[in-house]
Structure 1
Amino acid sequence: MTHPALPSPTTRPLLAFAMLVVVLVLAALDQTILSTALPAIAHDLPGTLPLAWVFSAYLLAATVVIALYGRLADVLGRKPMLLLAIALFLLGSLACGASQTLAQLVMARALQGAGGGGLLTLTMLTVASLFPPEQRGRYQSMLGASYGVATMFGPLLGGWLVEHVSWHWAFWINVPLALLAWLVLARTTPRSPRQAASIDGWGAATLTLALVATLLATQHGKLQLPAWLSLGVLLAVAAKAGAAFVWRQFRAGHPLVPPGLFRHPAYTATAAIGLCSGVAMYAAVVFVPQYLQTMLHLSPTASAWHLLPLMAGITAAAVTSGKLLRAQVAARRLAGVGSALLLLSFLALALSLAWAPASAPLISACLLPAGMGLGLLFPIVTVVSQRSSPPQFMGIATATPVMLRSLGGSLGVALMAGLLGTRMADGLQAVFACASLAALAALLCSRWLAPLASAPQRAPGANSVA
């Protein structure tokens, strides 16, 4: 008999899924909503920190915690980690809106990122708790579509709030919605079993150090770091910490990222596709608006509208990908089509700059295949990574490609920014050529995707995943 205060068993998963969409949309909005609100923030808040820290603090915290959330979800359960991530994001949003100095805002953004970084992985994992395997592709694709739409409308919403209300509401708008989602998900999501395993503290520490040093290196110029913290120092620290992390994972009894996961060719392929898709996505999202604003003198809002084909493609293709996966269309074929569309898009962008560099509509239209390719790939990476890993490692198996996608985007933007040079049109052609190589690499990796099949129920050991 159903408790009168709770939704019925048939509506409970759908209500929980609706709240997952809400928190994922909020996390996506906060990655881009400040792009049009930053001038107003700079005018209102005193402080000497570079404004780039407002973005970078969120990015650093969000990227660093992804793998840790995934492993903690395996050990402690998905529900408590999801509720913790929402709570941190809510508290961070409150603190951001109440900030009185730039330094306070940067620290609040780090707290917000510590919550927001876990939401993408944890919402995907919670879908696996709510729906049977044959339905997960559909709902994973809907999450991906929601994320794409929210990313697109972040700058537009930020501009509207600054113009008509206040920049504070770019953060406070999260509070009632996140609180509602927390309350509903606390009542409607099932608990997953805990594991008798410990967390690899040394592995988490070395991975955190490697990621922080890498991300600081990618934004070294923007952040105006101290002279002693040079690019060479950061890269050396990142390399040594990364090597220490890999060494630790092969020797730890309960590694943070079990190396055995990568013995499955399909999982290795999804991780590589996640990395390549991050490079491609950020190449479009970062450099196309930069070109439209710098060379064609469009406003930030107008340049954001020209990304509409990209986001429309992501939305439509993500939904389609979920339906095709449910219809048992081979993941290898879908990933191949998605990667080919990405490759076609960046080749078309490079040609458009050569033939019609002043045509913003043409550049905008060339983004449509990229959006369709990314939309096809996003659900595939999630579904295949979950199906190719044992249940006891599903959290970290889902989180790792997400972390690599974020890291690939940051590294790709930093490396490709050096190609712009003094003549932006020529430099941007080189950027799109590099993005084409990333798409080609994803296309090659897609050949290693095996047909979807249930993962083994047991693994021989933490370091030997079948």
Structure 2
Amino acid sequence: MTNVVPSGTKGVGFRSERGPVLIAVMLSTGLVALDSTIIATAVPSIVTDLGGFEQFPWLFSIYLLTQAVTVPLYGKFADVLGRKPVMLFGIAVFLLGSVLCGAAWSMPVLIISRAIQGIGAGAVLPISMTMVGDQYTVEERAKVQGYLASVWAMASVIGPTLGGIFAEYLTWRWIFFVNVPVGAVAVVVLVLRFTESVERRKHRIDYMGAALLTLGCSLLILGLLEGGVAWRWGSVESILIFVVSAVMLIGFVLVERRAAEPVVPLWVFSKRTLVGGNLVSLIIGALLIGMSSYLPTFAEGVMGTGALVAGLTLGALTVGWPLAASQAGRFYMRIGFRDTGLIGSVLVVIGALLVALLPIGSTVWQAAGAGFVLGLGLGLSSVPTLVAVQSTVGWNRRGVVTGTNMFNRSMGSAVGVAVFGAIANTTLANRFAHPPAAVAGQLPPSADATSLVLGGHPDPASPVDAFVREALYAATHQVFVVMFVVSILTVGATLLMPRRTAQLTFAEDAQVREESPSVPTACTQSQRSASS
């Protein structure tokens, strides 16, 4: 029994034999998509309620860090234990973290709860993508990506809107509680409609590699996020943290070279397709979190909009992404993965440039338009590179390569939010340390002064509000400029991929599994019926 599409299986829609599995994947993806779009617009309200503006990047970085370091483990477990138990575990932990986030009474508690949420999210998205790679051919994935893109499109509209409504009219805590019913439905569908048969055997888990990766990445994020805030960049503390982080990551590479079953096998960096695809994913992660973190802040604090309008501004990016992703399949089936990704990377650069050029007197339409162009580029870059990565390996390695690709995106986001947070915090600290005489002594301590304008509708006649608004513009503008520089790297990363990508056919995939008795087999109930 092999995990390939039976010859009698027709169609990729909801009424096809694989329809229930597609619905389950979409619901699971929607869980992460909704959380990704709904929290960004509520950050100003959270800061106003709990305080700690200088700590708010941790709401993203700790979530992304725990997500990133667990993704490779989940990818490995999915190839060993099967997709279903890993997915159910991830959803359960994610929902637990969501409930704890909604009940948080301080910023540190909220940050810890976000870490738990990230541990669960580390399973949901990569395993969803792996399941799609299992169930559909390369040609069919072009259509399935349209369905998955529609999830992000709906989340891009529903998420920011709900986030703005909850933050402005109810309470920001509902942005976390809303995950519970969505996750519950996803669990029910997976339990009832997705079945798999897995051959059990003993495995050696690379605990040492996992520990070194987690600690090394955690120290790197800590050093980037707190440098220039809790301690000076050139201080002993800062240097020591980066040195220890580097030693641990080097040790991680050495351990992976000798591990029987490494967390991140080094062969994933031996092919140009995998290297290029992973680098693109790394850069996309950084750009996406930069926009998600600072575009709503720019809209509220600089442009003076409310949380709801700020959410719709960000929604333009998350509408552009799925629109482009839904059409990416048509492009890469005609001109190839690399050329499609190259078109997307050029749009990414153009969109990032438009964002960097936003003036202090920008309108909502200018900000939304720039975000929409960037979203188009991200959609055309992410889909072909991920499908190319999945298409170069068989079932028994698809979980690993998908997990590694998602790991790079999560690490890009984690490092990106740390770097962008350091830039913003350093800029604000410098501005607030030297205020003009007219506002000296009237500012709240540290970066919490931004709460004066983050509630929307700042007082234009107030010299204090005007100064804070200008300082916040300087901080976000610096972030957007760095994002533009990073976006240029997308073009180079895409060019690393070969023009023609070798692909395993489903027949070759089946042969790999038949020749590897230790590889678990999985299929839906409908597929087993069709096979028999």
Say if 2:160 and 2:315, in contact at 8 Å, map to a contact too: no
Cα pair distance change 1:226/1:171, threshold 3 Å: farther
The yes-or-no answer on 1:332 pairing with 2:338 is yes
5+ residue gaps, structure 2, are 1-13, 432-473, 517-532
Q: Structure 1's 52 and 370: CA in aligned 2 closer, same or farther, altered over 3 A?
A: closer
Give the equivalent residue in structure 2 for 1:441: 492
1:147 CA drift (Å): 3.1
Partner of 1:400: 404
CA displacement 1:319-364 (0-9 Å, x = unmatched): 0013444x454112211111111122223444x447x963543343
Structure 2 residue aligned with 1:314? 321
**Greater relative CO (CA pairs within 8 A, separation 6+):** 2
Task: Point out the more displaced range, 175-184 or 67-76.
Answer: 175-184
The alignment partner of 1:306 has SS state of helix
Higher mean Cα deviation, 179-188 or 49-58? 49-58
Do the aligned partners of 1:331 and 1:380 also contact (CA within 8 Å) in 2? yes
In the superposition, relative to structure 1, how do residues 223 and 442 fare at CA in structure 2: closer, same or farther (>3 Å)?
same
**Partner residue, 2:248:** 241
Equivalent position of 1:4 in the other structure: none
Does residue 199 (structure 1) correspond to residue 205 (structure 2)? The answer is yes
- The 1:152/1:116 distance shift into structure 2, 3 A limit, reads farther
Where 2:501 maps in the other structure, the secondary structure is coil
| Shift in CA distance, 348/203, structure 1 to aligned 2, threshold 3 Å | same
Amino acid at match of 1:333: D
Closer, same or farther in 2 for the Cα pair 1:54/1:340, shift >3 Å? Answer: closer
**Is structure 2 residue 160 aligned with structure 1 residue 109?**
no
Instruction: Give the one of 266, 269, 273 matched to 2:273.
Output: 266
Moved more, 442-451 or 406-415: 442-451
- Pair 426,207 (structure 1): closer, same or farther in 2 beyond 3 Å: closer
Structure 1 residues 71-220: aligned runs within 5 Å: 71-99=76-104, 103-147=108-152, 149-151=154-156, 153-191=158-196, 193-194=198-199, 196=201, 197-220=203-226
1:61 match: 66
1:309 and 1:368 in contact (8 A); partners too: yes
- Equivalent residue in structure 2 for 1:376, among 367, 377, 380: 380
Q: 2:521 aligns to what? A: none
Q: Report the 3-state secondary structure (helix = DSSP H, G, I; strand = E; otherwise coil) of the residue aligned with 1:374.
A: helix
State the partner residue of 1:365: 369
Equivalent residues of 1:340, 1:443 under 8 A apart: no
Q: Which amino acid in the other structure matches residue 117 of structure 2?
A: Q
Offset from partner CA, 1:404-446 (integer Å, 9 cap, x none): 1121233234445666646458635632441332233234234
Amino acid at match of 2:493: A
1:263-308 CA distance string (max 9 Å, x none):
2221111111111222333343334444334433333432332233
CA distance in 2, matches of 1:62, 1:167: 22
Q: C-alpha separation between the residues in 2 aligned to 1:286 and 1:107?
A: 19
Letter in 2 for 1:270: G
Question: CA separation of 1:328/1:229 partners in 2, compared to 1, >3 Å: closer, same or farther?
Answer: farther
Aligned residues of 2:61 and 2:415 also touching (Cα < 8 A): no
Does the 8 Å contact 2:91/2:183 carry over to 1?
yes
TM-score (norm 1): 0.84
Contact 1:261 1:389 in 2 (8 A): no
Cα distance change on mapping 1:451 and 1:252 into 2, 3 Å: closer
Structure 1 pair 176/72, CA: closer, same or farther in 2 (3 Å)?
same
Match of 2:278, as an amino acid? A
Shift of 1:389: 2.3
- 2:98 maps to a residue whose letter is S
Between Structure 1 and Structure 2, how many residues are aligned?
450
Contact 1:203-1:249 within 8 A present in 2 as well: yes
Q: Deviations over 1:385-404 (max 9, x none)?
A: 11112321211100111111
State the partner residue of 1:292. Answer: 299
Distance 1:258 1:216, change over 3 A: same
Q: What is the one-letter code of the residue matched to 2:343?
A: V
My pick for the range that moved more, 431-440 or 98-107, is 98-107
Equivalent residue of 2:264, what SS? coil
Q: Which has the larger Rg?
A: 2
Q: TM-score normalised to the size of structure 2?
A: 0.74
- Identity of matched residues, %: 29
Alignment equivalent of 2:349, drawn from 336, 343, 352: 343
The superposition leaves residues 189-239 of structure 1 with CA deviations (integer Å, 9 ceiling, x where unpaired) of 232634643221111111111222222233226995999994333322221
The one-letter code matched in structure 2 to 1:320 is Q
Task: Tell me the secondary structure at the aligned position of residue 496 of structure 2.
Answer: helix
Q: Secondary structure at the match of 1:114?
A: helix
Shift of residue 70 of structure 1? 0.8
C-alpha deviation, 1:447, in angstroms: 4.7
Of stretches 89-98 and 235-244 in structure 1, the one that deviates more from structure 2 is 89-98
- The Cα RMSD (Å) is 3.6
With 225-234 and 112-121 compared, the bigger mean Cα shift is at 225-234
State the 1:188 CA deviation.
1.4
Distance 2:36 2:323 in 1: 21
Greater alpha carbon shift after TM alignment, 229-238 vs 97-106: 97-106
Q: Which moved more, 1:215-224 or 1:74-83?
A: 215-224
Cα 1:308/1:251, change in 2 over 3 Å: same
Structure 2: how far apart are the matches of 1:305 and 1:46?
A: 24
Q: 2:482 aligns with which of 407, 417, 431?
A: 431
Task: Write the distance in 1 (CA, Å) between the matches of 2:227 and 2:37.
Answer: 21
Residue pair 2:325, 2:379 contacting (<8 A) in 1 also: yes
Of stretches 220-229 and 416-425 in structure 1, the one that deviates more from structure 2 is 220-229
